[in-house]
Amino acid sequence: MKVTALAGDVPAALAGALAARGVDRRSAEALAAGGAPVALLLEPLDEADATALVRGAARAGLDCHTGDGWAVVAGTLARLGGLARADASSPATERLSLALGRFLQDVQDPPLVWRTARRAISLERSSVVGILNVTPDSFSDGGRHFALADALAGARAMREAGAAVLDVGGESTRPGAARPDEAEELRRVVPVVRALAAEVGLPVSVDTRRAAVARAALEAGAEIVNDVSGLTADPAMAELVRGTGAGVVIMHMRGEPQTMDAAAVYRDVAAEVAAELAERRDTALAAGVERERIVLDPGLGFAKTPAHNLRLLDCLGALVALGHPVMVGPSRKRFLGAVTGRPVESRDAATAAACVAARLRGARLFRVHDVAAAREALAVADAVLAGGDDPAGRGAGTGGGAGG
Ligand code: HH2
């Protein structure tokens, strides 16, 4: 007897192996999806919840570790489904079934479109969001797009390079940057948004923490609000997003850009960022923002050390499991300098590599300065993930070989 490892964490690999041995395709896919590994942290948990979980997990064949007020349960998705099946035999088992049922609904239904105020953006393949900072002081492109003509030329070049969205920001959020007042931010952002929406033909997103700036940008043709405060800085922002039907990026940050470095203290960065983002997402949902308008972003570089950013990229699955498309913004950031030793102006290869790492962990949107480099790297990642099914719609050809 020979034992061969399958790529057990890749459902397509399992399905392919089963189908190649005569299992019909649908059953093979269902079996493979159920075999996907999951590990969940449940907290806070009281004594009764913990007892119900330990018993239920043992019955379902799941591994379970409990501690003071918390539990980790691990196994396959199919076995977790068994544990989540409605069980009202006690209030504790009912609470458990409900919480797990909600979780499973999110992970089993990953949205592949993003609804904005003007359209639905397909996320079947990776979408690159081109950064257009109309600021004098952004850490990498400050001053480059400050004049309207430069912003338009930059936007057209990004469209040619394959950008799916243009993100316009009038405030640098690098640590320690001075904040422009509202009138100045409006002056920077609105004319550029108006020109891009009218002349470039790509969806425009506005990167702002101010509802008044977001409102003026949406009126000028923007359709997405990218809020690095995760809708916490301005109490009017969630209602604005709801009322306009804008798409929204809820990004994770702690504190303010001016002070955030001091807040970069985590016991378990991925779990904490996922939990804090889930809370902000829930607040948005409670304010009436529709689920399919929300994209989540770990906020690389915002209240995170280089080690935190790298761990977050590796553990992005914790965010993907919240059931929303995930955006990442690694572009030219300090943690890439820490890894490569490269200065800010030559970090585009590192940025593309970080995008690919994030894509392999489930991210769908990539906010970058160099659109062409990211697009090319992500085309390869998309093709790998499609397993030869060719997401770009170009025939893979039959030639193969090492060089052709
Ligand atoms: N990063 C920056 C600004 N906005 N938005 C999202 N959703 N995700 C990010 O990671 C993100 C963001 C900071 O980068 P940049 O715009 O290049 O610089 P600056 O803030 O100095 O203008």
* Rounded mean pLDDT, 68-76: 94
CB count within 10 Å of CB 129 equals: 29
Nearest to 318 by CA among 277, 359, 372, 264: 277
Residue 114 phi, psi (nearest 5): -125, 115
Task: Give yes or no for residue 393 having a pLDDT over 80.
Answer: no
Q: What is the mean pLDDT of residues 321-340?
A: 97
Band (pLDDT 50/70/90 cuts) for residue 404 is low
Please tell me if the CB atom of residue 229 comes closer than 6 angstroms to any atom of ligand 1: no
**pLDDT tens track for 370-389:** 999 999 999 999 999 988 77
Rounded CA gap, 349 and 334, in Å?
14
What is the C-alpha to C-alpha distance for residues 36 and 57, in angstroms, rounded to an integer? 17
For 229-292, give the secondary structure using H, E and C: CCCCCCCCHHHHHHHHCCEEEEECCCCCCCCHHHHCCCCCHHHHHHHHHHHHHHHHHHCCCCHH
> Does residue 396 register a pLDDT over 60?
no
Report which ligand 1 atom has the smallest distance to the Cα of 140: 17
Question: Higher-confidence residue: 146 or 270?
Answer: 270
Q: What's the rounded Cα separation, in Å, for the pair 135 and 151?
A: 11
Ligand 1 centre and the CA of 367: distance in Å? 8
Q: Quick one: pLDDT at residue 69? A: 93
Chain segment 93-149, per-residue pLDDT in tens: 888 999 898 888 877 666 899 999 999 999 999 999 999 999 888 777 777 777 899
**pLDDT-based confidence at 13, cuts 50/70/90?**
confident
- The CA-atom distances, in angstroms, between 287 and each of 205, 208, 235, 277, 281 are 21, 19, 11, 15, 10
Contacts of 379 (CB under 8 A, 6+ apart): 125, 126, 392
Quickly list H helices, 133-259: 148-160, 182-199, 211-219, 237-244
Q: 138 CB less than 6 Å from ligand 1?
A: yes
Residue 396 has a CB neighbour count (10 Å cut-off) of 12
Q: Which distant-in-sequence residues (6+ apart) come within 8 Å of 220 by Cβ?
A: 190, 191, 193, 194, 197
Which protein residue's CA is at the shortest distance from atom 11 of ligand 1?
A: 329
Instruction: Identify the band that residue 227 occupies on the pLDDT scale cut at 50, 70 and 90.
Output: very high
What's the pLDDT score for residue 110? 67
Distance in Å, CA 129 to ligand 1 centroid: 11
Ligand 1 pocket, mutate which of 335, 367, 368 (most atoms under 8 A from CB): 367
Q: Which atom of ligand 1 is nearest to the CA of 301?
A: 10
- pLDDT computed for residue 397 by the predictor: 44
Greatest Cα pair distance in the chain: 74
Here the tokens at position 359 are 């894509």
- For 288-304, write each residue's pLDDT tens digit: 999 999 999 999 999 99
Task: Give me the residue label for tokens 């920077």.
Answer: 188
What value does the mean pLDDT of the chain take?
92
Mean pLDDT, residues 210-239 taken together: 98
Q: Which residues contact 335 (CB under 8 A, 6 or more apart)?
A: 300, 301, 304, 305, 306, 309, 310
Ligand 1 nearest-atom number relative to CA 141: 17
Sign of CA dihedral 375, 338, 329, 146: negative
Q: What is the mean pLDDT of residues 38-48?
A: 92
CA of 132 to the centre of ligand 1 (A): 10
> Ligand 1 in contact with 205 (CB < 6 A)?
no
Look up residue 158 and give its two tokens.
Answer: 């990004």
* pLDDT the model gives residue 401: 58
Please check whether residue 230 is in contact with residue 252, taking contact to mean a CB–CB distance below 8 angstroms: yes
How many Å apart are CA 381 and CA 363, to the nearest integer?
11
As a whole-number percent, the residues of the chain with pLDDT over 70 amount to 95
pTM of the model: 0.93
The strand pair at 165-169 and 127-133 is best described as parallel
